[in-house]
Amino acid sequence: MQAVFPLTFAALLFSAGVYGVLSRRNAVLVLMSVELMLAAVTVNLVAFHGLVASEAGDPLLSGQVFALFVMGIGAAEVGVGLAIVLLLYRNRATVNVDDADLMKY
Amino acid sequence: MFSEWAWLIPALPALSVLIIVFSGRALPWKGAEVGIVALLASLGLSLGVAWEVFSHNAGVTQGIGPAGDADAAPAGAEAFLLERGLTLTPLGGDLAVELGMRVDGLAAMMFVLVTAVSLMVHIYSTGYMHGDARYTYFFALLSLFSFSMLLLVIASDLLVLLVGWELVGICSYLLIGFWWEDKHNQDASIKAFLTTKLGDVGLVVGIMALAGMFGTFSIQGVLDGVAAGDHSQALLTFALLALILGAVGKSAQFPLHTWLPDAMAGPTPVSALIHAATMVTAGVFIVARLFPAYQAAPVAQGTLAIIGAITLVMAGLLALVQTDLKRVLAYSTVSQLGYMMAALSFSYVAGVFHLFTHGFFKALLFLGAGSVIHAAHSNHMTEMGGLRRVMPVTFWTFLAGSLALIAIPPLAGFWSKDEILVAALEAGGYTGTVVLVLGALGGLITAFYMTRALYLVFAGEFRGHGHPHESEPAMTAPLIALAIPAVAIGWINLPFPALQPLSLSSWVMFDVDYWVANPVELNAVIAVIATVLALAGVLAARAIYREAPERDPLLHLGLLTHVLQRRYYLDDLYTDLIARTAVRDKLAPAAVWFSDRVLDGAVYWSGRGTYELGQGLYATGDQRGIDGAVNGLGLSALWSGARMRLAQSGNVQLYAGALFIGVFVLAVVFASGA
């Protein structure tokens, strides 16, 4: 299998995530962009697994298993992240990250 | 035996000073008895020491036989010498301050002279000073002086000798100004002190030079160093000349003799003790102490001879025109000290012998003069006369002293003065001839002025006021006691070779070889000439003064009398020209100007400069430099902090952006590195 397609896809996906993280004002959208970056990494893991296993074999399926770990941890991260966003909204009536600058100098 | 205890000789008078000072007034005789008992004990001990030294030295010289027979001293024959000392404090290097005693023939002789005369003066003073307001103080000073003089004599160390030397100077100052209520007495004491101090500068220089040359202050060390010969001749001559300056000041030699006649302002017993018999001989003593060193320096010896010869004639001439009896004796003392100085340039024995005999008969003359002054209530011979009948004891003892001084055989002065002239003759050469001629001439002058004084005081009619009478026994007893040595003391050194092993020359010898090489001999020609000159002086004075003593022709010689009465203008030179005009009017204002303007200015401007420099340093260095650096560091931290904290914006996306850029950069770096 050509590895270039999934890797290019993952790079694009990651870049979209980075763009979203850096440019979105809405905290929820920022969280979603983080999920895009996680997804891009997951795609990479799966893609490289395919690449490595097709040549040397991988009886433990470590790439696939790591992809599952990433999804699990990503779910937990979203849980914590949304809880923070929720508390932010309760306290300040907004989810705009530009307003959440209480830790500035 | 006795010599081991010789340190008690000065210690007893020192103890006497303390007792008199702390409890003198409470004692029945107001302190006088303490001094007399202490001096009596010291005299006894001195005689014991003298006997011990004499028996040792005579034992040695008797083994050799009559002086001059042997060519050299036998091996092992040594003159008596005992040195004991304790080191007080080291001075660094090999030098140390030592308190030591050096007992030999010279010291033993001086012990006897000083304690005997001091004892006589103590006894005499109980009468002379009776009723004085400061009677106890006077005896404390007499004891202090005795201690100081004996310390000077016993010293084994030039530093201790210097201490004694300065202490006798202080005592002299205090006693000359004893009646300080009179301004004239104060002036005299200050003059004496300052004039001798001028000489003392030379003494200190000389002592330091000797210590520098030989690395020790010890007299024995210096003599050993000279004997070893490993030294610079020029430096030795310089040191000994400097010491002569000290001796010239203390022993009132030309040109520093001017203080001694003025010192007669003190009480007469003081004049007898300090300014005739003992302190003024300190200068002669120190030369005699270092006699072997002087032998090694002919220039210094020649200087001694010339100074002595000038002094003996000059002072003798001055004595001719004095009307004050004590001043006649004072100039006579200066003259006789000149004989001693001159003698010490040729012969050790002659100088020391004359010191010894002169001490006794001059003390006698001064005490006799005190007795006369006590009776006539005046120092001036113009207010005396005819005292022979009312004061027989004083007259006969004074006559004995005068004849001893005039050098009529067989009295004391004849033998010692003759010895000096013989020594000068044998030395020969330029200095010997000068001393011989001037010394013989001095004998004529001495005879003349003493006969004049005798006639003015004791002959004719009384010209003063009141009714003079003989002094009390406390005063006449010392006169009689001193008249005996004045007559007889010369017999202890008769110039016959067979007697020499048992005589003074053997007693005081510092070295057996010197004793053997320099026998004391009689020169009949010299003795006859000296006696004839002395008799000529006596007869000339008798012819002039027998008929009319009050009409004194010596006071009517016009210019000559004037010059002599003005003391060769030396006092005018010192007082008016040097002290007043040069020092007071020129030098002192210049010194004040220099001090005020130059020294004070330098001090002021250096202080001012330092202050200004400090101010400048404070303003620029401290305030600007150091404070600026410290504040600048703080401020720059504050400033940069204020700038850098802006990065801490609190905006998560900014942080995240920075993070991504950083990761990207690192990735590029690693990738390119790989």
DSSP state string for B300-339: HHHHHHHHHHHHHHHHHHHHHT--BHHHHHHHHHHHHHHH
User: What is the pLDDT, as a whole number, of residue B68?
Assistant: 57
Q: Render pLDDT for B462-520 as a digit per residue (tens, 0 to 9).
A: 787 878 888 888 888 888 988 888 888 888 887 777 777 788 888 888 888 788 777 77
- Mean pLDDT score across all residues of chain B: 86
Interface contact flag, B651 A105, Cβ < 8 Å? no
Nearest to A21 among B646, B648, B653 (CB): B653
Mean pLDDT of the A46-74 span: 85
Beta-carbon separation of B653 and A30 below 8 A: yes
Return the pLDDT at B166: 92
Instruction: Say whether A21 and B646 touch across the interface (CB within 8 A).
Output: no
Phi, psi of B70 (to 5 degrees): -85, 155
Measured CA to CA, the distance from residue B249 to residue B197 in angstroms comes to 7
Per cent of chain B over pLDDT 90 is: 18
Distance separating alpha carbons of residues B216 and A75, to the nearest angstrom: 108
Q: What is the pLDDT of residues B452-464, one digit of tens each?
A: 888 888 887 878 7
Q: How far is CA B266 from CA B97, B155, B193, B273, in A?
A: 34, 28, 13, 11
pLDDT at B550: 65
* Mutate: best of A14, A15, A19, A21, partner B, most B CBs <10 A: A21
Contacts of A28 in chain B (CB under 8 A): none
Paired tokens of A45: 């893991």
Amino acid B25 reads R
Mean pLDDT for the stretch of residues B540-549: 79
> What pLDDT shows up at residue B75?
65
pTM: 0.74
Q: Residue B148: what pLDDT?
A: 92
pLDDT digits (tens, 9 = 90+) for B275-302: 888 888 999 999 999 998 888 888 888 8
Are residues B264 and B362 in contact, defined by beta-carbon separation less than 8 angstroms?
A: no
The reply to whether residue A101 touches residue B649, judged by beta carbons under 8 angstroms, is: yes
Residue B173 has pLDDT above 70, yes or no: yes
Nearest Cα of chain B lies from the Cα of A62 at a distance, in angstroms, of 25
- Third-level CATH fold of A4-100: Helix Hairpins (1.10.287)
pLDDT band, residue B186 (cuts 50/70/90): confident
Whether the CB of B656 is below 8 Å from some CB of chain A: the reply is: yes
Alpha carbons B420 and B347: distance in angstroms, whole number: 8
- The reported pLDDT for the residue numbered B457 is 85
Average of per-residue pLDDT across B308-333: 88
The phi and psi torsions of B409 (rounded to 5 degrees) equal: -70, 145
The complex scores an ipTM of 0.85
Q: What is the pLDDT of residue B204?
A: 92
Domain boundaries, chain A: 4-100
Is the per-residue pLDDT at B76 higher than 70?
Answer: no
Residue predicted with more confidence, A84 or B562: A84
Chain B: nearest CA to A104, how far in angstroms? Answer: 4
Tell me which chain B residues have a C-beta less than 8 angstroms from the C-beta of A34. Answer: none
State yes or no: pLDDT of B637 exceeds 90: yes
Residue-level pLDDT at B473:
85
The answer to whether A90 contacts chain B (CB < 8 Å) is no
State whether A105 and B657 contact (CB < 8 Å): no
According to DSSP, the residues that pair with B501 across neighbouring strands are none
**pLDDT tens-digit map of A68-96:** 999 999 999 999 999 999 998 998 888 88
Confidence of residue B261 (pLDDT cuts 50, 70, 90): confident
pLDDT > 70? residue B674: no
Instruction: Report, as an integer, the average pLDDT of B10-27.
Output: 86
Q: What is the pLDDT of residue B78?
A: 79
Q: Kindly determine whether residue B650 and residue A102, on different chains, have CB atoms separated by under 8 Å.
A: yes
In this prediction, residues A8-20 reach a mean pLDDT of: 93
Q: What is the pLDDT of residues B40-68, one digit of tens each?
A: 999 999 999 999 888 888 888 877 776 55
Q: Specify the higher pLDDT residue, B230 or B549.
A: B230
